[in-house]
Protein backbone atom coordinates (compact mmCIF):
# COMPACT_ATOMS: atom_id res chain seq x y z
CA UNK A 1 0.00 0.00 0.00
CA UNK A 2 1.28 3.44 -0.89
CA UNK A 3 -0.55 6.13 1.05
CA UNK A 4 -0.19 9.86 0.51
CA UNK A 5 -0.44 12.85 2.83
CA UNK A 6 -4.20 13.13 2.30
CA UNK A 7 -4.59 9.48 3.38
CA UNK A 8 -2.54 10.28 6.47
CA UNK A 9 -4.63 13.35 7.25
CA UNK A 10 -7.81 11.32 6.87
CA UNK A 11 -6.61 8.51 9.12
CA UNK A 12 -5.45 10.97 11.78
CA UNK A 13 -8.74 12.89 11.58
CA UNK A 14 -10.61 9.62 12.11
CA UNK A 15 -8.47 8.76 15.15
CA UNK A 16 -8.86 12.30 16.50
CA UNK A 17 -12.65 12.14 16.16
CA UNK A 18 -12.80 8.69 17.72
CA UNK A 19 -10.97 9.86 20.86
CA UNK A 20 -12.26 13.44 20.98
CA UNK A 21 -8.76 14.88 20.71
CA UNK A 22 -9.58 17.91 18.52
CA UNK A 23 -9.54 20.42 21.42
CA UNK A 24 -6.11 19.14 22.43
CA UNK A 25 -4.53 19.61 19.02
CA UNK A 26 -3.18 23.11 19.40
CA UNK A 27 0.10 24.05 17.73
CA UNK A 28 1.83 24.00 21.12
CA UNK A 29 0.57 20.55 22.08
CA UNK A 30 1.36 19.15 18.63
CA UNK A 31 4.88 20.58 18.84
CA UNK A 32 5.39 19.00 22.26
CA UNK A 33 4.09 15.66 20.97
CA UNK A 34 6.43 15.87 17.98
CA UNK A 35 9.38 16.70 20.24
CA UNK A 36 8.59 13.68 22.41
CA UNK A 37 8.45 11.36 19.43
CA UNK A 38 11.74 12.72 18.03
CA UNK A 39 13.25 12.02 21.44
CA UNK A 40 11.95 8.46 21.26
CA UNK A 41 13.61 8.04 17.85
CA UNK A 42 16.88 9.35 19.28
CA UNK A 43 16.69 6.97 22.22
CA UNK A 44 16.25 4.02 19.86
CA UNK A 45 19.25 4.86 17.69
CA UNK A 46 21.69 6.62 20.02
CA UNK A 47 23.67 3.50 20.97
CA UNK A 48 23.18 1.52 17.78
CA UNK A 49 25.86 1.11 15.13
CA UNK A 50 25.13 2.79 11.83
CA UNK A 51 23.03 0.41 9.79
CA UNK A 52 20.98 0.36 6.62
CA UNK A 53 17.25 -0.05 6.09
CA UNK A 54 17.40 -3.79 6.76
CA UNK A 55 18.21 -3.07 10.42
CA UNK A 56 15.23 -0.79 11.12
CA UNK A 57 13.19 -2.19 14.01
CA UNK A 58 9.39 -2.14 14.18
CA UNK A 59 9.68 0.25 17.14
CA UNK A 60 11.76 2.69 15.09
CA UNK A 61 9.26 2.49 12.23
CA UNK A 62 6.42 3.28 14.64
CA UNK A 63 8.22 6.27 16.15
CA UNK A 64 9.19 7.67 12.73
CA UNK A 65 5.57 7.30 11.62
CA UNK A 66 4.42 9.18 14.73
CA UNK A 67 6.92 11.96 13.92
CA UNK A 68 5.42 12.32 10.45
CA UNK A 69 1.87 12.39 11.81
CA UNK A 70 2.65 15.11 14.36
CA UNK A 71 4.75 17.16 11.93
CA UNK A 72 1.96 17.11 9.35
CA UNK A 73 -0.69 17.94 11.98
CA UNK A 74 1.44 20.82 13.28
CA UNK A 75 2.01 22.26 9.82
CA UNK A 76 -1.71 21.97 9.04
CA UNK A 77 -2.63 23.65 12.33
CA UNK A 78 -0.33 26.55 11.41
CA UNK A 79 -1.56 26.77 7.82
CA UNK A 80 1.83 25.81 6.40
CA UNK A 81 2.00 23.92 3.10
CA UNK A 82 4.86 21.75 4.23
CA UNK A 83 5.51 19.96 0.95
CA UNK A 84 5.60 23.14 -1.15
CA UNK A 85 7.75 24.94 1.40
CA UNK A 86 10.17 22.01 1.64
CA UNK A 87 10.53 21.76 -2.13
CA UNK A 88 11.09 25.52 -2.39
CA UNK A 89 13.69 25.40 0.36
CA UNK A 90 15.59 22.49 -1.21
CA UNK A 91 15.51 24.05 -4.67
CA UNK A 92 16.87 27.28 -3.16
CA UNK A 93 19.71 25.34 -1.53
CA UNK A 94 20.50 23.69 -4.86
CA UNK A 95 20.62 27.06 -6.60
CA UNK A 96 22.86 28.55 -3.88
CA UNK A 97 25.16 25.56 -4.18
CA UNK A 98 25.67 25.85 -7.93
CA UNK A 99 29.06 27.25 -8.99
**In whole angstroms, what is the distance from residue 79 CA to residue 74 CA?**
9
| Stated pTM of the model | 0.89
Distances (CA, A) of 91 to 51, 71, 86: 29, 21, 9
Question: Could you say which residues of the chain have pLDDT below 70?
Answer: none
Average pLDDT, the chain: 94
Q: Give the domains, in start order, of the chain with CATH numbers.
A: 23-97 (1.10.287.1080)
Query: pLDDT digit string (tens) for 37-48?
Result: 999 999 999 888
Give the per-residue pLDDT at 24.
92
Amino acid sequence: MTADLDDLRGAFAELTALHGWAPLQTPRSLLLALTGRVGAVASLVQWEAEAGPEAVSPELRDELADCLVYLLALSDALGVDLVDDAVTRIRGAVERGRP
